[in-house]
Chain A
Amino acid sequence: MDTALFTPKEAPLFNSNQQRNVKEAMEMQSINQPQNSHTSTSISSDSIELPSASGKWAPRLLLECARAISENDSGKIHLLLWRLNELASPYGDCDQKLASYFLQALFCKATDSGQRCYETLAAVAEKRHSFDSARKLILKFQEVSPWMTFGHVASNGAILEAFEGETKLHIIDISNTLCTQWPILLEALATRNDETPHLKLTVVDTASTVRSVVMNEVGQRMQKFARLMGVPFEFNVISGLYHLGELTKEGLGVQEDEAIAVNCIGALRKVEVEERGAIIRMFQSLRPRVVTVVEEEADFSSSRDDFVKCFEECLKFYTLYFEMLEESFFPTSNDRLTLERECSRNIVRVLACDDGNGTEGDSERRERGSQWSERLKEAFSPVGFTDDVMDDVKSLLKRYRAGWGLLLPQGDRESGIHLTWKEEPLVWASAWKP
């Protein structure tokens, strides 16, 4: 069995015993072919049919495997894992890729090696991570897809509105977008009709130390750029936090005369589910003018006790994401490959790792906009985006390829806007005030 698929440096994850088992299972299967086997409940000739040219085989096989795992049906598990492995490839089409990355998670779940696998993947990624590579990747992604820029435009719009007339601005940025949101905002501030306000940007970085090297570089660029724009600017990075709950008003350097904005892009999902309420209350204590929250629209949290359901959600979301990547990037793009690999870590984390296992701020359990809204409504009230901001968002989407759309909140209980890809909502952007 090809084990090099999973982790380049690890020992084969299937030991030789397991390999024999699989082989035996296959042989048994071929012997039993003429009659339906009764030894395993759902293995029939149907479930291991060859993938047809049409039809998406990956979701089907993957779900079958997930079910088998939740039922603890080891024979079936082995079979399906083997089958998937045969068909999967991170370099193939969408199905093959999904099969590849989800197979890894399934395997880790089955062998209870999720934590180790995740840490390995994270370590490998860290080694490859550099300012140049991160910058290149993120800028390229923003160029071909509005995935990130949607949230940026909406958030910047809300922040600028909330900061109207203020002269001392302090933005607390907890994002995963390496400050690519801020140049546009700096430019907008520089061109305000009144005195250009002073902006203090405090970036909270919950990742490991390697990343702080990158953040330093980012900070320098931001400072230079602000100087270029003629905006009085101050940049701070808070790193090495175990998790966001440790943030305090003093720790953030919040001063009384400042107008505060809290900007969370892809940040809240990194907080462990049980602690999310506390984090929101902490934001409230900062007394911000506006809190902007941008998250990916998927629910991995309410189903976290139900493996199959969570798996389904995960599969659905990442299928859309991978398809989106495939259509946005150039076919042989390395950048896309890198983004896909990042997903693999997240998938393993959500599906194969237990929560609260001591891994730093990287829960990855997404929630839908409506769920976040419920949480945020405890401390804040929603602010609608103004027409100007909405127009900006619409113009933004026009600058990209077809397929992207905008979904406005339906009904009173909803808040925030959604970015849709082929009519499916994928990213949620919202603004809140105390």
Chain B
Amino acid sequence: MLENMAEEELPNGFVQNTIAESNPPVANKKKRSLPGTPDPEAEVIALSPKTLMATNRFLCEICGKGFQRDQNLQLHRRGHNLPWKLKLRSVKEPRKRVYVCPEKTCVHHHPSRALGDLTGIKKHFCRKHGEKKWKCEKCSKRYAVQSDWKAHSKTCGTREYKCDCGTIFSRRDSFITHRAFCDALAEETARMNAVSNMNNAVAGNINHHFMGIPLGPNMAQHLPSIFKPNVSSDGIINPTTRELSLWTGQGSQGHEVMSTSNLQGIHQLGPCLGAMFADPFVSCANPPPSEYHLNLVFGTKLSSSSTEELSSTTSLPLSDVKETGTQLCVPSLYSTQHQSHQTPSANMSATALLQKAAQIGATSTEPSFLGSFRLKFNADSQVQDGNKLCGLYGSNTLITNIGNNAEESGGELSQIHPAKRRSTLNEDGAGGRTRDFLGVGVQPICHPSSINGWISS
């Protein structure tokens, strides 16, 4: 059907260019190519916005009736009692089709950056240039694509945020406010300084992969994009991955429970991560991006052990959680603002971010907003992080790896926060008992306690 239309220019806006005549690509197992770098021999199709969003793309040539799916169209055609010849669809092997975005200002408008999938281009167009009709109930975040919204709704409220001081939050707004006042903030600034150079080098890939750790000072602006689906310009990467990159599984109160739920979380992350790693965009290939979110995952796991200890030593935190049980929802209060404005910002490339960084100047102290998650930037530590990677893919070794990593991270932590530990020891007479295996006092400066992070004093 579409082949027939290819031959002529139709009034409803189908215009086609042909890049080159060619042999059709290999029909079996198509490899996913880079997003936005189409097969040069593919046929470029430019649809108008109206056609793109049209729900009935498949038209019956006999009566002109439109259908959403090809199968439905075929079913309908049978009813026309076509002679045998016309019954079959055109034998000609369809050329690979790629689609450009109708929006002129969009990077994917140019044929060289066309996207290979019609569904993909539809989603892209909606996300970037469309009206955001779908809104999350819990956090007011807006989405243009229904599937994105659904995916978000599943994970909304289940995310956890961990501050440097050790407190865990289920609510994003509480986390942000706490972070702003947290004593850990000062230390963070100093530490981030040291690694800022290296980060800038890999900044180029971060934007696309969104592993959730902003590197430039304005990476923070991309932060909430962790929670949004349309972070990079490619439509291929499943939006859920970005969400899940911070999603560390359900908050829980016991180590046991935590590990199972995290395992689940990680398994879910697994395939997504797989997609991302297979994606040659990460050609710079530094694990740093992935490390960040792996660390996020582990971060919570690590802290869970401390939570467990707390739970066993005092009953207050648990009951606190019970009483404030409704505080599950998480994301940004201003997510709507984010959403409505983030469309272009996601397009902001890493170079723009670096420019901003230069502009802000003194912000070379750029700490990542999420520096709260234990980050290991150093190339040296790649080995240990390699462990984590393995842990991720070799799923069973997960728990054991945590143990290993904990030692190292514990060491690092102890170096960074010796002052804190001392002070907490002074405050808390039972210091030794409440330390977790990281060797860090469970009651850091901000006096966190339960999952929600609060002990009634």
Whether A330 and B366, one on each chain, are in contact in the complex, defined by CB atoms closer than 8 angstroms, is no
Q: Please name all residues of chain A whose beta carbon is closer than 8 Å to the beta carbon of B325 when the two chains form the complex.
A: 401
Give the interface SS of chain B, mostly helix, strand, loop or mixed. Answer: helix
Q: What 4 A-B pairs have minimum CB-CB distances, sorted nearest first?
A: A193-B341, A183-B180, A188-B334, A230-B217
Q: Which residues of chain B in 293-319 are interfacial with respect to chain A, using CB atoms and an 8 Å cutoff?
A: 316, 319
Selected contact of B456 from candidates A183, A222, A329, A401, CB within 8 Å? A329
Taken residue by residue from 70 to 105, chain A's Cβ proximity to chain B (1 for < 8 Å, 0 otherwise) reads as 000000000000000000000000000000000000
Question: Is there contact, CB below 8 Å, between B185 and A187?
Answer: no
Closest residue on chain A to residue B182 by CB atoms: A221
- Among B18-26, B220-228, B258-266, B268-276, the stretch that binds chain A is B220-228
Q: Which residue of A has the minimal Cβ distance to B140?
A: A391
Q: Are B457 and A334 in contact (CB under 8 A)?
A: yes
> What sequence of 0s and 1s flags, for each residue 8-47 of chain A, a beta carbon within 8 Å of any chain B beta carbon?
0000000000000000000000000000000000000000
A193 with B366: CB separation less than 8 A: no
CB<8 Å pairs between A and B, sample of 10: A143-B327, A185-B334, A187-B220, A187-B332, A191-B338, A228-B367, A229-B220, A230-B360, A332-B456, A398-B137
- Are A227 and B217 closer than 8 Å at their CB atoms? yes
Beyond A230-B221, A330-B323, A399-B329, 16 additional pairs, beta carbon < 8 A: A160-B337, A183-B176, A187-B369, A188-B333, A190-B223, A191-B338, A191-B341, A191-B342, A193-B341, A193-B343, A221-B180, A221-B181, A228-B188, A388-B336, A396-B173, A399-B138
Q: Determine whether the beta carbon of A156 is less than 8 Å from that of B334.
A: yes
For B280, the chain A residues whose CB sits under 8 A away are: none
Cross-chain contact B138 with A190 (CB below 8 angstroms): no
* B326 contacts the other chain (CB 8 A): yes
Chain B CB within 8 A of A144 CB: yes
B360 touches A136 (CB 8 A): no
A116 interface hit (Cβ, 8 Å): no
Closest chain-A Cβ to B436's Cβ sits at a distance in Å of: 22
Q: Is the CB of B138 within 8 A of A230?
A: no
Q: Does A139 have its Cβ within 8 Å of any Cβ on chain B? A: yes
Considering the complex, give the chain A residue whose CB is closest to the CB of B357.
A230
User: In whole angstroms, how far apart are the Cα atoms of A222 and B176 in the complex?
Assistant: 12
Q: Is A153 an interface residue (CB 8 A)?
A: yes
- Interface residue from A185, A330, A392 paired with B140 (Cβ < 8 Å): A392
Taking a contact as CB atoms closer than 8 A, the residue among B173, B223, B457 that contacts A184 in the complex is B173
Question: Is B106 an interface residue, CB under 8 A from the partner?
Answer: no
Query: Is A140 positioned at the interface, with any CB of B under 8 Å from its CB?
Result: yes
Measured CA separation A142–B453 after assembly (Å): 13
Q: Give residues 129-172 of A contacting B (CB, 8 Å).
A: 135-136, 139-140, 142-144, 149, 153, 156-157, 160
**B residues neighboring A (CB under 8 Å):** 135, 137-140, 171, 173-174, 176-181, 185-186, 188-189, 216-225, 316, 319-320, 323-329, 332-334, 336-338, 340-345, 356-357, 360, 362-363, 365-367, 369, 446-447, 452-454, 456-457
Complex contact B326–A399 (CB within 8 A): yes
Asked if A395 and B326 make an inter-chain contact with CB atoms under 8 angstroms apart, the answer reads no
List of B residues within 8 angstroms of A334 by Cβ? 456-457
- In the complex, which residues of chain A have a beta carbon less than 8 angstroms from the beta carbon of B319? 330
- How distant is A165 from chain B, measured CB to nearest CB, in Å? 11
Query: Is the CB–CB distance between B181 and A135 below 8 Å?
Result: yes
How far is the CB of A383 from the nearest CB of chain B, in Å? Answer: 17
Residue of B nearest to A187 (CB): B176
Q: Which residue of A lies closest to B337 (CB)?
A: A188
Query: Is A221's CB under 8 angstroms from B137's CB?
Result: no
Q: Which residues of A contact B342 (CB under 8 A)?
A: 191, 193
CA distance A218 to B82 in the complex (A): 79
From B323, B336, B340, B456, A392 is in contact (CB under 8 Å) with B336
Please indicate the chain B residues that have their CB under 8 angstroms from the CB of A398 in the complex: 137-138, 326, 329
Verify B337–A191 contact, CB threshold 8 A: yes
Chain B residues in 8 Å Cβ range of A224: 185-186, 189
